Amino acid sequence: MCDEKDLARWARGAVSRRTFGAGAIAAGAAACAPIEGTAGESSPAPLAERKVSFAIADGTMDGEFFHPATGKHPGVILWPDIAGIRPAKRQMARRLAKEGYAVLLANPYYRDVAGQQFADFADFAGQGGFEKVTPWRQKFTVDTIVSDTTGCVEWLLAQDAVDGTRGMGAQGYCMTGSFALVAPAAHASMMAGASFHGGGLVREGERSPHRMMRKGAHYLVAIAKNDDAKAPGDKTALREAAAAVGADAEIEVYGGDHGWCVPDSPSYDEPEAERAWARLLALYAKAL
């Protein structure tokens, strides 16, 4: 998981905020853009998107909702990383919606603030973002993850664009990787959880996220190589926990460093990000 030392190093990096913010987003946009059809091929289905807010147990959840403009589709909760909702995460949500999913890009910080707080990861790293979000993050517990997931699922089930007869998925990045592991334990409709360079997956106690995996659900745990170097036993603990309950879990250390999946991250690694994206789509195709 990214920490203050990582953020300080990124903030002092050789790239300027303008270069990083524009260059990384441009690269990410290219990676996340739909492939244009050739002559005779159909164009990608149009999308609908809107900002949303709705009441859940601890207050008013807000976020953005992306889905194909017509039809009903499996619901997915996309939890952003530590820098929250921003253009890079909207790119990822749109890309997933183009694959035929109804995607709620949820604000994990809704208890304290609404909407976008940072323009991009460079803005977060260079403008004291870690200090700003620390008191917000301290409110995350396994119980709040369960409650928030339940509220989001119930809202999704009420949407015309969501096929309530299909399973749902949740995916999280960095600090919200643990949200994805906990999600299937929160609601019967939640059938898949995908964690990318997630932090805090293996903790002490029976309420550790890795011990909350359940039989019948499907999991993808994509671990950053530098996170694995810091905690090499986590992958074994995750595999043992999945086996203990009979959960279907794909757990792998990838060649990218922490943050490699996110287009505006200084650690973005396009080949490894694309490999992880392909595994995410395979997970959802199987589980939903």
How does pLDDT run across 21-37, given as a tens digit for each residue? 444 444 333 333 332 33
Q: Where are the beta strands (DSSP E) in the chain?
A: 47-56, 59-68, 75-79, 102-106, 168-173, 190-196, 218-223, 248-253
How much is the pLDDT for 44?
Answer: 65
Distance between terminal CA atoms of the chain?
28
Residue with tokens 């650690």: 267
**Residue 18 pLDDT more than 50?**
no
**Residue 123 pLDDT more than 60?**
yes
**Residue 287 pLDDT more than 60?**
yes
- Between 1 and 177, the higher pLDDT residue: 177
Half-sphere exposure in the Cβ direction for 153 (13 Å, CA): 24
Q: Angle at Cα 260 formed by Cα 256 and Cα 264, nearest 5°?
A: 150
Mean per-residue pLDDT, 154-169: 98
Nearest to 209 by CA among 217, 197, 201: 201
CA separation for the pair 196, 172 (Å, rounded): 6
Strands, sheet with 190-196, edge to edge from the N-terminal-most edge strand: 47-56, 59-68, 102-106, 75-79, 168-173, 190-196, 218-223, 248-253
How much is the pLDDT for 19?
Answer: 43
What percentage of residues in the chain have a pLDDT greater than 70?
A: 85
CA separation for the pair 101, 93 (Å, rounded): 9
Contact between 249 and 221 (Cβ < 8 Å)? yes
- Helices within 33-128 (DSSP H only): 87-98, 121-126
133, burial (CB in 10 Å: exposed 0-12, middle 13-18, buried 19+): buried
Q: In which band, very low, low, confident or very high, does the pLDDT at 10 lie, cut at 50, 70 and 90?
A: low
How much is the pLDDT for 1?
Answer: 54
- Amino acid in position 288: L
Structural domains of the chain in order of their starting residue, each with its CATH number: 4-30+51-287 (3.40.50.1820)
Q: How far is CA 107 from CA 54, 67, 270, in A?
A: 12, 17, 25
